[in-house]
Amino acid sequence: MLTYDRKFCYSGFTFSHNGVKMKLSPLYELLVILEEKGSVSLRDFKLWPSGTFRGTVGKMESMGLIVKKNIDGLVFFSLSEKGFSYLNRILDVIHNGVSHWDGKWRFVSFSIPEKKRFIRDKFRRYLESIGLKPYLNSLWVSPKDCKSNISKIAERLGVKNYLILICEQTELNQELIKIWDFEKFRKMYEEFIDESENVITLKDKLEAKKMILNYAFILNSEPNLPIELMPNDWPRFRANMQYKKLRRIIE
């Protein structure tokens, strides 16, 4: 069973600034449906556009997220162990604790040559995945202690000699904080709060699970800075109250 109450980037949902409801991508919607229902027959997907369904199922099979069985002439799909683990890894972020700032900004500078472009791009993606932001050209910054992790990935990729890590204690620097796009994620949280209120009213278990997955995607992609650097009115705390209400629906 999917552990929606556990601690869990990719673009898992679509989001519009024009008032359109947030919606899971077909792959993640199907994963939630299969987790809730156990297994689903091929004929149950008649409401899905055939091209979308075939493409989504094909991708999920190639990723090892689902298994297909033929029972009495009918084709059924269900989640594989890998599918459950995949969802749980996304959901793990929900119970991550609040982090506190130690007053230090970490700067990472690197100059990886063009002939190692593929590795350079991979290293950049890693920096993004752990929350660093580009500041000036190849200078990246984070308020979190990331030196050990960055050193390990640089060594594994063979680019440690092209890397400089600087730890500098500074005052609260508003210019650095502005690098993170708070307003984009504020709108995502506000929409999640509005949409989840409708689901809570209807007490729809499947829709509640979809909303919880949406919440996890926002948490996985938001700035997630130490609490001292976050806006005072940051809506994550109200969103977490909505998550707790959604959890009560599926328990």
Domain end residue (candidates: 43, 59, 92): 92
Q: 219 is in which domain, residue-wise?
A: 179-250
**How are strands ordered across the β-sheet holding 139-142?**
133-136, 139-142, 104-110, 163-169
Are 103 and 176 in contact by the 8 Å Cβ rule? The answer is: no
Domain end residue (candidates: 92, 116, 148): 92
Residue 238 CB: number of other CB atoms within 10 A?
14
Are 104 and 168 in contact by the 8 Å Cβ rule? The answer is: yes
pLDDT tens digits, one per residue of 37-90 = 998 887 777 667 777 788 888 999 999 999 999 888 888 999 999 999 999 999
pLDDT of residue 52: 79
Are 106 and 166 in contact by the 8 Å Cβ rule? The answer is: yes
- Domain CATH number, residue 142: 3.30.70.240
Cα angle 215, 134, 216; round to 5 = 10
Distance CA 15, CA 165 (A): 36
pLDDT band of 199, cuts 50, 70, 90: very high
